[in-house]
Amino acid sequence: MSIYLPRRQAVVAVSLVLLLGACSSAPKRPAADTASSGPESNEPDLVAQLRERMAAGNIQRKTKTEVAGTTSATRDTSSAPKVTVDPVKQQAAMAIAPDYARAIGLTQAGNDAEALALFRGIGAKTPQFAGPLLNQGLILLRQEKYADAETALRAAIKASPRSPYAQNLLGIALRQQGKFPDARAAYEAALVLDPGYARAHFNLGVLADLYLQDLPLALTHYERYQGLQSKPDPAVANWIVDLQKRTGVYKAPPRPAPAPQPVAEDEGDAAPATDATPPTPAAPAAPGSTGPAPAPAAAAEEKSAS
């Protein structure tokens, strides 16, 4: 049975889910494979960082120079983390849901400045919700205000300690500030909360690959990311092979057995043709002769036949 909601009520309902979606307990994996509808869906493209480092000549890997700015690696096809909704907070959330929906609409329209101001106003009224703080962090990351993004995301983690989204985004903010060990800790915290969080595996792989120079760690998380995709990512598949070769663990796939080749027969051993006329047996030798009797003449055969 389906329930019809007017447009405004439907927007408020969706906004309420997004607002409360990062609030309370440990994430649970959804049964179906779904794309993220939460604030993380606009996460900055880390593949661009790979390309920039390659262009600078710091990493000599052709496979990564050929990756476009928006790749399958940033279009994650794994299941998104799911957090439960705290029923105690639902009443408070209803009061701010319309403003929250408007702020999301402004963000989607590209009006980051106005959206940021509105999210900050909402966050000041309801500091117990992580949603407004997460969205502030996303906008500040896009604006390259990484220290401010870190502040907002740490506040989001305080409001929702079990949000893998907040930990993952905090890792990005820290990496952009050169705080690589802290970024690793944030990504790993996200994976403790949800070991199947594919985007956090991807981000940790990039951090280990390009910034920590820990190739075995990068390989581990690229492989984990790839294993969580509903469709394999061809770009990451190339990176995995490259790192396997560089770390000495690569094993080439077995070659298919060659098809048997036809064997040519020797002329002397060739069997006689099946349609060949068998030789005529020799007539018995005449008494007193030293050889076989001569064959009868053809004319005599014809005559006797008549």
- Axis crossing angle, helix 198-206 with helix 164-176, rounded to the nearest 10: 20
Q: Does residue 51 sit within a domain?
A: yes
Residue 278 domain-assigned? Answer: no
Judge whether 304 lies within some domain.
no
Report pLDDT digits (tens) over 180-218: 999 999 999 999 999 999 999 999 999 999 999 999 999
Is residue 261 assigned to a domain? no
What is the number of other CB atoms lying within 10 angstroms of the CB of residue 85?
Answer: 17
To the nearest whole percent, how much of the chain has pLDDT over 90? 42
Residue 266 and residue 214: Cα distance in Å, rounded?
62
Nearest partner of 19 among 78, 85, 68, judged by Cα? 85
Percent of the chain with pLDDT over 70: 58
Q: Is 291 a domain residue?
A: no
pLDDT band at 127 (very low <50, low <70, confident <90, very high): confident
Q: Alpha carbon of 236 to those of 8, 11, 227, 242: distances in Å? A: 41, 36, 11, 10
The answer for residues whose C-beta is within 8 angstroms of residue 53's C-beta and 6 or more apart is 59, 210
177 pLDDT band, cuts 50/70/90, is very high
Give residue-wise pLDDT tens across range 83-121.
666 666 676 777 788 888 899 999 999 999 999 999 999
Residue 294 lies in a domain: no
Whether 274 shows a pLDDT value over 60: the answer reads no
Strand-pair partners of 285: 292
141 pLDDT above the threshold of 70: yes
The per-residue pLDDT for range 215-269, each reduced to its tens digit, is 999 999 999 999 999 998 998 999 999 999 999 988 887 888 788 887 766 555 5
Single pTM value for the model: 0.65
Q: What is the pLDDT of residue 78?
A: 74
Q: Which domain holds residue 120?
A: 7-247
| Single-letter amino acid, residue 246 | R
Q: Which helix (H) or strand (E) holds 116?
A: helix 112-125
Asked if the structure places residue 84 within a domain, the reply is yes
Considering the domain boundaries, does residue 94 fall inside one? yes
Query: Domain of 213: which CATH number?
Result: 1.25.40.10
* φ, ψ at 5 (rounded to 5°): -120, 135
Closest CA to 157 of 176, 135, 130: 130
Tell me what pLDDT residue 304 has. 43
The answer, yes or no, to whether residue 305 has pLDDT greater than 60, is no
Number of domains in the chain: 1
The mean per-residue pLDDT over the stretch 142-169 comes to 94
The token pair at 47 is 């593949």
Between CA 144 and CA 47 the distance in angstroms is: 16
Residue 226 token pair:
């790839």
Number of residues assigned to the chain: 306
Q: Above 60 in pLDDT, residue 148?
A: yes
Alpha carbon 229 to its chain centroid, in Å, reads 5
User: pLDDT tens for residues 50-86?
Assistant: 554 444 444 444 333 322 233 445 567 777 676 666 6
